[in-house]
Structure 1
Amino acid sequence: MAALTGRKIAFLVAPEGIEQVELTEPWKSVEQAGGQPELVSTEEGEVRAFNHLDPADTFPVDRVADAVSAADYDGLVLPGGVANPDFLRTDPGAVAFAKSFFDAAKPVAAICHAPWTLVEADVVRSRRVTSWPSLRTDLRNAGADWVDEQLVVDRGEGVSTLLTSRKPDDLPAFCEALVDEFAH
């Protein structure tokens, strides 16, 4: 696994509805690689994660989306959960924060339902992506080339690398790829 020493990685989440394992597993991978993960949300305080539909743990927010930008970080992780990205895509500050990584050509990793936020940011056009299957039509309507694969790494010259995965079962490949990508 690549080293992320000195790299700061943002994890953008809503106040609740985050799929816990899609937050905690990538977070651990960033920490184990020597990176510094920071939890960014739309509000100060704590966020509530879920194990599917069951409430799970709470996590302290480090920064608020309106007060940060891609310039503060080396990469962005967007965990899934159905409610999480559905809330984020309605928050202009969260959408602008996610889009700022594409404007700065910094890597972004999104899993499960998380690409909904990227649809709202209008950054998936002409990009190859995967997601939870129910997002297929939304992503295609937004101009993405949607495929049903465990991991998709879409690289382009002068643009953000975009890593996407479908579901919690894909986390091992997703976590390894995001650490490798964020290390470069």
Structure 2
Amino acid sequence: MEITLSTDDITTVAVDAIVNAAHHALRGGGGVDGAIHRAGGPAILADCIERYPHGIPTGQAGWTTAGNLPAQYVIHVVGPNYTAGQRDPALLESGYRNALRIADELSVRRIALPAVSAGIYGWPAQEAADIAVRTLLGTTTGVAEAIFCLVEPRLYKAFGKALEKAERGGR
């Protein structure tokens, strides 16, 4: 899998699937979640309600239509809320692995991702980046290209360091 970094708004990137850093209720919210729901329109929320009436647990993922977004699907990942005490790295790894599992089920080849849990959920940027890159590179998948959309300079820098570490063999 090729991993690239971008400063583009995730809602504008033309890919097969966009990953959403979602709240467990899957009803929209702030940050990336809110931006995806606003740009994608009401079809995403309607699909969330129909498919996941009770939401999904932390570390899990589900998918919906992408509505008006330049993608076919949105893969909703519920990352751990570091600020609320959910600090087990396995939960963050699980979210990324489940996103790739769903991507494979949907035959996704190109995917755009945010820094799951590293925004309003407060996960330390470098640790979140290391976990994300290590998990994507260490998971067998049919996804050929993963584009991390990182509009915050601190996240772009952290993911750049994580990729450098991976290239040196320090996955």
Q: TM-score, normalised by structure 2?
A: 0.38
More helix by share: 2
Greater relative contact order (CA < 8 Å, ≥ 6 in sequence): 2
Higher share in strand: 1
Q: Which TM-score applies when normalising by structure 1?
A: 0.36
